[in-house]
Chains A and B, each alone.
Chain A
Amino acid sequence: MELRKPPLATIHDAHGAKTTEFGGWEMPVEFDSIRTEHESVRESVGKFDVSHMGEIEVSGPDAAELLGRLTTNDVSALAHGSAQYAMITDTEGTILDDTVIYRLPETHDADFLFVPNAGHDEEMAERWATHRDEWGLDATVENRTEAYAMFAIQGSDAVGLVASAADDAGEPLADLGRFAATDATVADSDCLAARTGYTGEDGLELIVPWGEAEAVWDAFDCQPCGLGARDTLRIEAGFLLSGQDFHHEENPRNPFEADVGFAVDLDTEFVGRDALAHVAEAGPDERFVGFELETRGVPRHGYEITDSKGTTIGTVTSGTMSPTLSTPLGMGYVPTEYAEPGTTIAVRVRGEPKEARTRALPFLER
């Protein structure tokens, strides 16, 4: 199958970016070096092309109800110009994807926008349309993934950089609260700017008309960063990666196991709610934990986690040598009795058990 390409594909190529396949998209993985890009974000600011993320617009009288019944958080709590993190679950409470839902500013034609992960846009648009019809709700669902580019400008200097690049936009971007969204004009392009991101740093994400992506990207004079740095940054921040830290078929997990129970509001009605109420009451059998290797080696996706006697108790879902902390860090699921921070476990690195200790997430407090 031919890979989907972001609108900046030729620009990235001209700048020498190495690319990789991710969720059916060909995306830049590295522009200079992962370490250089990672450090730019931790120390000042970097820009990411995340146009592989989906954009689905939902409008109409029953838009909020449709979103509310298909996601785990309380959509009715969203005011115009605000966003929330939520999980999309099946009837068993198993995570299909995670997403950010935006209730758009009143200036927009559409009411809501939600952002599924790379490669999930078609499946989610279909899920929304099918359930809308089944429930007889009055809402339109439009997959707009190829109408928008999406950029993340991240780091302590990010908000200042975007604010200085933006034209006077009514509400100043610098005053935008966390998980708030507003209209902004950058390089004559009308964008949606939200104080969100996935690096553990302050910053903004911009949703930009596809055809105007280049002018907006060029308006930010800072380090371009690829998916490699995005991965090391989000691991340090303890954030889940869809398809890797949970996968509906290969590694089915519910939000309480995945330690994102904060995104589940059991006072709302949604697909999977009853199953999750049981998990919430009984407690999950396994928990997503962070750990640090205490001897040389790098934990990688798929390596076995064992107890201190060598019995397999779980699998590493994400791991890296942390560029900021210079220590090998990983995440994965273990039985709840091993989840307490400070518990001694081990990771089998190419067959060799390496002692590790569980740690509270995020690894890096900001």
Chain B
Amino acid sequence: MSFEIPDELRFLESHEWTRAEDGTARVGISDFAQDELGDIVFVEFPEEGDEIVHDEEFGVVESIKAVSDLYSPVSGTVTATNDALLDAPELVNDDPYGEGWMLEVDLDDPDELDDLLDADAYRDQIE
């Protein structure tokens, strides 16, 4: 099975992605992660204004069969949350890099992105 891994994204080993531009970043989970989890039924994440920290827990994603912690690829202040996931968590399955995004973050330190896996390194990890 081959999974979508967009070249412009950066990844944590725990399967969260981030797409950074001009000091802000979006965060979600990878195509591989949504497939492993199966039918996602619940997503819990922080509120606007909360601080999140690189490689620390920021929320939870639950599928029918399992609960998984979410880890943040970046540090910063949450500026937006994808509230559509509260009523339609299955968007994470359907479109993990698009409609299934989770948070937007104002980055504390854009250099942190260098610590993340690029698409090739992430592909190597899951294959």
Contact = CB atoms under 8 A, between A and B. Distances in A.
A34 B86 contact: no
A124 B71 CA distance: 45
B42 A296 contact: yes
A232 interface: yes
B46 to A, nearest CB: 14
Given A33-B38, A35-B64, 15 more contacts: A29-B65, A30-B65, A33-B39, A34-B38, A228-B64, A232-B64, A296-B44, A297-B42, A298-B42, A298-B62, A321-B41, A321-B62, A321-B64, A323-B39, A323-B64
B67 interface: yes
Contacts of B64: 34-35, 228, 232, 320-321, 323
Contact of A30 (B1, B38, B42): B38
Interface string B27-67: 00000000000110110100000000000000010111101
A350 B38 CA distance: 21
Nearest 6 interchain pairs by C-beta: A321-B41, A35-B39, A34-B64, A298-B62, A228-B65, A33-B39
Contacts of B65: 29-30, 34, 228, 231
Interface of B: 1, 38-39, 41-42, 44, 60, 62-65, 67, 86
Contacts of B44: 296
Contacts of A34: 38-39, 63-65
Contacts of B60: 350
A300 interface: yes
A228 B62 contact: no
A240 B34 CA distance: 29
A177 interface: no
A211 interface: no
B43 to A, nearest CB: 10
A266 to B, nearest CB: 39
Interface string A28-58: 0110011100000000000000000000000
A296 B64 CA distance: 14
Contact of A296 (B38, B39, B86): B86
Contacts of B67: 298, 300, 350
27 contacts: A16-B1, A29-B65, A30-B38, A30-B65, A33-B38, A34-B38, A34-B39, A34-B63, A34-B65, A35-B39, A228-B65, A231-B65, A232-B64, A296-B42, A296-B44, A296-B86, A297-B42, A298-B41, A298-B42, A298-B67, A300-B67, A320-B64, A321-B42, A321-B62, A323-B39, A350-B60, A350-B67
B41 to A, nearest CB: 4
A296 B60 CA distance: 12
